[in-house]
Structure 1
Amino acid sequence: MNSKTIFTSIIGLALYFLIQILVLKNLVLFGMAFCFLYVIYLLLLPIEIKTIPMMLLAFLLGFGIDIFYDSMGLHTGSAVMMAFLRRPWIQLITPTGGYDSNTPPNLLNMGMGWFLTYSLPLILLHHLTFFFIDNVGTNLYIPMIYKTLASTAFTFVIGIIVQVLFYKKSRSL
């Protein structure tokens, strides 16, 4: 990673964090669907990032969001779990020729089919972990499944909208 990539990643981290805590904190559709857009930020980081730095970044982002949400580690645990599983998932879906280096794994660069295969299972695992930990001991597992599915769809759709509106396609040399 070069210094430009690191700088844009830091700016992106700050923007996603601020949008999550200032705008999306109180945005809930029908009392079921929550939008955790910071998950999209973690998924859009370069493919070359190793697991430990990814987990540290997910920890910092999740911890910061937990401070503002008063959620006692739910975001931190879920984000770190997703960051831990990201690299094995990428290795599992990597094509034979591999990926171009320094190409961000976003919708415009990789296509809708690949982005759906890449992001949707990881978003689902993040949300399932989040809502499972939130509902431990309550025996409210059916509403937990509804919240998980609705929030996964909501986060995915908002993530696609953000990418279409604000991201640009990388040019390969």
Structure 2
Amino acid sequence: MAKVIIYNIIRFVILLILQVAVLKNFGYYNIAVTYPYILIILLLPIGIPNLVLYVLAFLTGLCVDAFYDSIGIHASACVALAFFRIFFHNITIEVEERSSFNTPSWGSRGLKWYSTYILLGTFIHHLVLFLVESFSFSNILQTLLSVVLSSLMTCIVIFIISLLTYQKKTRILSN
């Protein structure tokens, strides 16, 4: 259990530094931007309590908001992502495995499950993020274009990170 906590703290620090130091000014004409920090929420252990997940998602979003000078936009998108994660896990993971502290990864769940999880989660996060950011439907086509292109760019970066950290067998920690 302590290893899982330490591993997730290290992941949080590395992804947050990557997001705010490297990828903050990386984008394509303000239409497509990359937000791989959502891996912090998506790769938390499966058996984490929902309240803890919502609090961690909110705090992750607030940390990114602090560096991006946005007012709760990332926090709201991260809470929506946490809601999606709970829903997705409830419909795709067996009841016995939901209480485990395994990380939902490519190696443990398979490429089909993992890619669906990442693609849908990224799309939900970006849809909420850009809709809250624009806060109007006047430029809905440009907003949807930004959602699609940013989701594609983010998924490419996430899959590169996943390839670099791929483990065939995951660590199963007994309680």
Alignment gaps of 5+ in structure 2: none
Q: Which residue of 2 aligns with 1:119?
A: 118
Given that 2:131 and 2:143 are in contact with CA atoms closer than 8 Å, whether structure 1 keeps it comes out as yes
Residue matched to 1:85: 84
Q: Distance in 2 between matches of 1:74 and 1:61?
A: 12
Q: Which residue of 1 aligns with 2:154?
A: 155
Tell me how far apart the structure 1 counterparts of residues 11 and 27 of structure 2 sit (CA, whole Å): 23
Q: Which runs of 5+ in 1 are unaligned?
A: none
Q: Provide the rounded CA distance (Å) in 2 between the counterparts of 1:61 and 1:86.
A: 15
Report the TM-score when normalising by structure 2.
0.89
Contact persistence 2:44–2:104 (CA under 8 A): yes
- Asked whether the 8 Å contact 1:82–1:126 carries over to 2, the reply is yes
**8 Å contact from structure 2 (residues 47, 99) kept in 1:** no
Q: Distance in 1 between matches of 2:162 and 2:114?
A: 11
Paired AA for residue 147 in structure 1: S
Which residue number in structure 1 is paired with residue 136 of structure 2?
137
> Deviations for 1:2-58, whole angstroms, at most 9, x for unmatched residues?
111111111111111111100110110353211111112210111111211011111
Aligned to 1:128: 127
Distance 1:82 1:64 in 2: 16
Aligned amino acid, residue 56 of structure 1: V
What percentage of residue pairs aligned between the two structures are identical? 30
For 2:72, the equivalent position in structure 1 comes to: 73
- Equivalent pairs, count: 172
CA 1:68–1:114 in structure 2 vs 1: closer, same or farther (change >3 Å)?
A: same
Residue type of the alignment partner of 2:144? I
Q: Deviations over 1:102-158 (max 9, x none)?
A: 331112222210012222112111100000011113611001001001111111111
2:102 paired residue number: 103
CA contact (8 A) 1:90 1:118 kept: no
The one-letter code sitting in structure 2 at the alignment partner of 1:65 is V
- C-alpha distance in structure 1 between counterparts of 2:7 and 2:97, whole Å: 24
Corresponding residue number in structure 1 for 2:42: 43
Q: Secondary structure at the match of 1:26?
A: coil
